[in-house]
Amino acid sequence: MLGLATKIGEAAAAVREKWGGIPRVGLILGTGLGGLAEQIEQEAVIRYEEIPHFPHSTVESHAGQLVCGTLSGVPIVAMEGRFHFYEGYSMQQVTFPVRVMKALGIDTLIVTNAAGGMNPQQQLADLMIIEDHINLMGDNPLRGVNDDSLGPRFPDMCEPYDRRLISLASQSALELGIRAHTGVFVAVAGPNLETRAEYRMLRGMGADVVGMSTVPEVLVAKHASLRVLGFSIVTDLCLPDALEPVDIAKILKVAAEGGEKLARLIPHVLARLGETA
Ligand code: HPA
């Protein structure tokens, strides 16, 4: 069986065959972020099926391709469509693309997601800059034999989300007149949404939003010494005493609305990335 490092090398080589650029930033586009991919000055678009060892996307709202090019003059590789643990992928599969982006040359990862808002200050389609996270997924992509060439056995998590990138994102949001909270993201395995009792518990343990992604990718990014910036779009209000049945069509609509804000904010952040280097 091929080792992880070999698979990463083969996948990265396949991307390099189609694109000669060296990305500085990796971008994981969650639900509602299609608009951002369109803003990239695209130099290559590579379907996941064309990349060896890449899992394939099964969720209809996710496209399943790597978009390579520049955004605000910064060379980037963007994942249009991500893999979720609830789809049945292993944590290693979910996070494999982060390893490949690192091998291609990125030093910074920007992750985005749609999440349920539990903080009463939040409104639908608001953005939250992720300051910290709680992993309640019940699994971890770093479990198993550690390849020391990829990162340390016991990676530090005292600052998973880069403080300077958080300030840059907050400042950029202010300049653009976009409401952006900062707060804690808690990751659950899904696929069901939470019960009232669960929302009450998650809020009580210190989380502001809840979602079914992102934390695995961030754990691997930190393992690989990447700087991380994360954004959540509040797509539904999860107030346990006023909870309404979930409406996935509405969540997707609100995600698209929040996605338009992120599609303005992220290029602004990228344009000023040099200030945090
Ligand atoms: N819970 C978990 N994941 C989610 C939610 C939620 O309420 N909304 C969007 N993703």
- Please give the distance, rounded to the nearest whole angstrom, from the Cα atom of residue 193 to the centre of ligand 1: 6
The CA 34 to ligand 1 mean position distance, Å, reads 19
Distance 32 CA to ligand 1 centre (A): 14
pTM of the model: 0.95
Taking the C-alpha atoms of residue 125 and residue 116, their distance in angstroms, rounded to an integer, is 10
Q: Ligand 1 within 6 A of 235 CB?
A: yes
Q: What is the pLDDT of residue 246?
A: 84
- 211 within ligand 1 shell (Cβ under 6 A): yes
Residues found in the chain: 277
Look-up of token digits 């949404």: 193
Contacts of 175 (CB under 8 A, 6+ apart): 268
Give, for ligand 1, the residue of 62, 232, 235 to mutate: max count of ligand atoms closer than 8 Å to Cβ.
235
- Please give the pLDDT value at position 61: 47
The pLDDT of residue 244 is 87
Distance from residue 205's CA to the centre of ligand 1 (Å):
17
Ligand 1: which of 62, 85, 238, 239 to mutate, judged by most atoms within 8 Å of the beta carbon? 238
Provide block-wise average pLDDT over 10 residues at a time, the chain (277 residues). 89 97 96 86 94 76 82 96 92 96 98 96 97 98 95 97 97 97 97 96 98 98 98 95 88 93 96 85
66 and 79 Cβ atoms separated by less than 8 Å: yes
Q: Which of 194, 195, 198, 253 to mutate for ligand 1's pocket (most ligand atoms within 8 Å of CB)?
A: 194
pLDDT at 60: 53
Class of the domain covering 4-276: alpha beta
Extents of the domains making up the chain: 4-276
Per-residue confidence (pLDDT) for residue 275, from 0 to 100: 82
At 115 the pLDDT is: 96
Residue 85 pLDDT: 95
